[in-house]
A and B are shown apart, each in its own frame.
Chain A
Amino acid sequence: QSALTQPASVSGSPGQSITISCTGTSSDVGGYNYVSWYQQHPGQAPKFMIYEVSNRPSGVSSRFSGSKSGNTAYLTISGLQADDEADYYCSSYTSSSTLYVFGTGTKVTVL
């Protein structure tokens, strides 16, 4: 089971919106609504941002939103802020023997 595919980097100016894609297959992203997203600042543990494709846990800003179309999931960050600069990882349940797979990770840069 290969990792889910994310762009290596995405950048935007403060206040803009950016979208990170996460492409899998019908065995993972496309087949189940068990996609989640994590934010990781340098030297820190990942932080849980989105679950079940589009749900935000309490405490996560409404500027973060998730969606899915076919085999690709998306994380959108609106009103980009300096503190949003971090690595972002998607993940999904998979029907393969691996059971669970992370994305390759995307570095978000705030210009």
Chain B
Amino acid sequence: QVQLQESGPGLVKSSETLSLTCTVSGGSMYSSYWSWIRQPPGRGLEWIAYMYHSGSTNYNPSLESRVTISVDTSKSQFSLKVTSVTAADTAMYYCARRSPYWYFDLWGRGTLVTVSS
């Protein structure tokens, strides 16, 4: 059974770079799309980015200038970097697997990232 687990610092200073990693266990990363989604406290979900195992990527245009997603299939991990963070980037960050038919069928438990001034 495939499982996802996010990891990374829970506190990031304003203007610095947020870095998170998602570890995929119990299955292969091949032939799947790997994604990041976030949810500010008390608010709704926002799709950030996804990438195919081969390395092709797509980003939410609202975040594209500050976001990078990457994959390391040898470690069964994919990562997210968000540069120049502000308080608006404070959120629960989820990694998820995206189906070719545009639904997220597997989610990690999420990791809360707080941006401090």
Contacts and interface: CB of A to CB of B under 8 A. Distances in A.
Interface of A: 3, 32, 34, 36, 38, 44-48, 51-52, 57, 89, 91-93, 97-105
Contacts, number: 61
Interface of B: 44-47, 58, 60-62, 94, 99, 101-110
B68 to A, nearest CB: 17
Nearest to B95: A45
A54 to B, nearest CB: 12
10 contacts: A34-B103, A36-B104, A44-B109, A52-B101, A89-B45, A91-B104, A98-B62, A99-B47, A100-B47, A101-B47
A57 B107 CA distance: 14
Nearest to A52: B101
B108 to A, nearest CB: 7
A97 B107 contact: no
A63 to B, nearest CB: 19
